[in-house]
Amino acid sequence: MQKEFHLSQTDVKRLAEQFGTPLLVMSVEQVKRNYRTLKEFMPRVNIHYAVKANPDERIVRTLKDLGSCFDVASDGEIFQLQEMGIGGDRMVFANPIKPVHSIETAGQAGISYYMVDSEPEIEKMARVAPGAGVLVRVRMQNPEALIDLNKKFGAEPADVMRLLLKARDCGLDVAGLAFHVGSQATQHHAYLNAIKLCRGLFDEAMTHGMNLRILDIGGGFPIRAPGSEKINIQAIFSSINNALDEYFPSIEIWAEPGRFICGTAVKLITRVIGKQHRDNQDWYFLDEGIYGTFSGVIFDHWDYELLSFKDEPLISATFAGPSCDSFDVIFREKETVRLDVDDLLLVPDIGSYSSASATTFNGFSKAKVIVWEQLGDVIQLDTAV
């Protein structure tokens, strides 16, 4: 059993000295472990990594070498993967609403399968990419998920049959159904309900002479969130897998994991660069903020853990980023030990929906990314690589 990606206090100090801060440390071995865990417990699943979670070339390349497929949503993601030698036969265009030029780009790249969830999109697909393969995305209610993607996407189950028939009548290759139960879905019920619902829709499609052949169970697979209990991911995967074997024994199964693959594979090292006492609270200013890697606080609603390696009483403090915008406050009323200027903080599990949405607002560069497993000769570390 391989060890999880870990950085000691000494590692953090040495890395900060050598490379400066803010610094993102990525473990490609952890990416591999996450991919293999998913594959081990759900062996039938054809993994399509959701590139939007973290498009870093080193993550994509690692997955490419493991044989993964990819979920793309834009021209930019298609071009990036193409340049890395990944063929369109390993991509699904998972965005249910696509500009015409993206459908053309996808067609030129050789992508065969596209998500749709509305009539206008089906008409557009038939016009721009006649005969293309489509999966109809079904809306699944799951208020338990941290990010409910079904507010924006998915056709109501009651409308799905009409869309399938429409796609067939338009001459498209009606390949199957897809769903996404929402990101960071910590319970397996949402998947089980969705799988059962889709079974009913597959059966109904059959009565209309449509033999659907692909079920895409989306992403949403969770990682441990700060302050939450440890997640038994193996139990979640096993129960999804059992449901697939029970309801879809002979159908091709796809999944589109994002967070689960990359979330635990990156850690951030950031430094306290300023300190102020305001409104009866300590304020700590870090060299990374809301406009950088901590953009995940806004877009991903994530509450990151800040490790200081100090064993002292906890206080409640405010953490702000380095920019001159008053919006650049990362956490308010955050429990922490007392900190000083120059202290280093380690932020684990910051690999998904973080650097992907970072900006260079106010002239602050994006945090540098280094690969943990490639440091062996560069720097003397605590843990053997």
Ligand X SMILES: *Cc1c(COP(=O)(O)O)cnc(C)c1O
Question: Token pair for residue 209?
Answer: 């002479």
- Residues between 332 and 361 with contacts to ligand X, criterion CB under 6 A: 352
Question: Token pair for residue 119?
Answer: 């009539």
By C-alpha distance, which of 304, 311, 309, 313 is closest to 282? 313
Asked if residue 53 lies in contact with residue 260, where contact means CB atoms within 8 angstroms, the answer is no
Q: CA 181, CA 191: separation in Å to the nearest integer?
A: 7
**Phi, psi at residue 342, to the nearest 5°?**
90, -10
DSSP states along 31-44: HHHHHHHHHHHSTT
Strands 281-286 and 266-278: antiparallel
Give the three-state DSSP class for 333: strand
Least CB distance to ligand X at residue 168 (A): 23
Least CB distance to ligand X at residue 128 (A): 20
Least CB distance to ligand X at residue 146 (A): 9
When binding is defined by CB under 6 A, the residue of 22, 133, 154, 258 that contacts ligand X is 258
Instruction: Please identify, using beta-carbon distances, which residue of 299 and 327 lies nearer to ligand X.
Output: 299
What DSSP designation does 128 have? H
Bridge partners for 135 per DSSP: 115, 176
Binding-site string for ligand X from residue 105 to residue 144, where x marks contact by CB under 6 A and - marks none? ----------------------------------------
Least CB distance to ligand X at residue 222 (A): 8
When binding is defined by CB under 6 A, the residue of 22, 55, 133, 257 that contacts ligand X is 257
Q: Which stretch, 6-14, 20-28, 207-215, 253-261, contacts ligand X (CB under 6 A)?
A: 253-261
User: How many residues of this chain bind ligand X (CB under 6 A)?
Assistant: 18
Give the residue closest to ligand X by C-beta: 219
Least CB distance to ligand X at residue 152 (A): 9
Least CB distance to ligand X at residue 336 (A): 28
- 183 contacts ligand X (rule: CB under 6 A): yes
Instruction: Please identify, using beta-carbon distances, which residue of 126 and 217 lies nearer to ligand X.
Output: 217
| Amino acid, single-letter form, for residue 167 | A
By C-alpha distance, which of 33, 31, 52 is closest to 256? 52
Active site residue 262: no
- Residues between 70 and 89 with contacts to ligand X, criterion CB under 6 A: 71
Instruction: Please identify, using beta-carbon distances, which residue of 254 and 285 lies nearer to ligand X.
Output: 254
When binding is defined by CB under 6 A, the residue of 7, 28, 45, 94 that contacts ligand X is 94
Q: CA 169, CA 131: separation in Å to the nearest integer?
A: 11
Q: CA 61, CA 28: separation in Å to the nearest integer?
A: 10
When binding is defined by CB under 6 A, the residue of 11, 77, 117, 256 that contacts ligand X is 256
Most distant pair of Cα atoms in the chain: their distance: 70
Instruction: Please identify, using beta-carbon distances, which residue of 253 and 272 lies nearer to ligand X.
Output: 253
Binding-site string for ligand X from residue 31 to residue 70, where x marks contact by CB under 6 A and - marks none? -------------------x-xx-----------------
- 300 contacts ligand X (rule: CB under 6 A): no
Q: Given the structure tokens 């208020």, which residue do they identify?
A: 143
Catalytic residue among 69, 198, 262, 324: 324
Question: Token pair for residue 171?
Answer: 């001459």
By C-alpha distance, which of 161, 120, 153 is closest to 137? 153
Instruction: Please identify, using beta-carbon distances, which residue of 95 and 336 lies nearer to ligand X.
Output: 95
By C-alpha distance, which of 155, 157, 153, 158 is closest to 183? 153
Asked if residue 91 lies in contact with residue 111, where contact means CB atoms within 8 angstroms, the answer is yes
Q: CA 317, CA 306: separation in Å to the nearest integer?
A: 12
Binding-site string for ligand X from residue 227 to residue 246, where x marks contact by CB under 6 A and - marks none? --------------------
- Residues between 185 and 224 with contacts to ligand X, criterion CB under 6 A: 218-221
Asked if residue 67 lies in contact with residue 85, where contact means CB atoms within 8 angstroms, the answer is no
Question: Token pair for residue 340?
Answer: 């000083």
Instruction: Please identify, using beta-carbon distances, which residue of 205 and 223 lies nearer to ligand X.
Output: 223
Q: Which stretch, 57-65, 128-136, 235-243, 257-265, contacts ligand X (CB under 6 A)?
A: 257-265
Least CB distance to ligand X at residue 256 (A): 4
Residues noted as catalytic: 324
Residues that bind ligand X (CB under 6 A): 50, 52-53, 71, 94, 149, 180, 183, 218-221, 256-260, 352
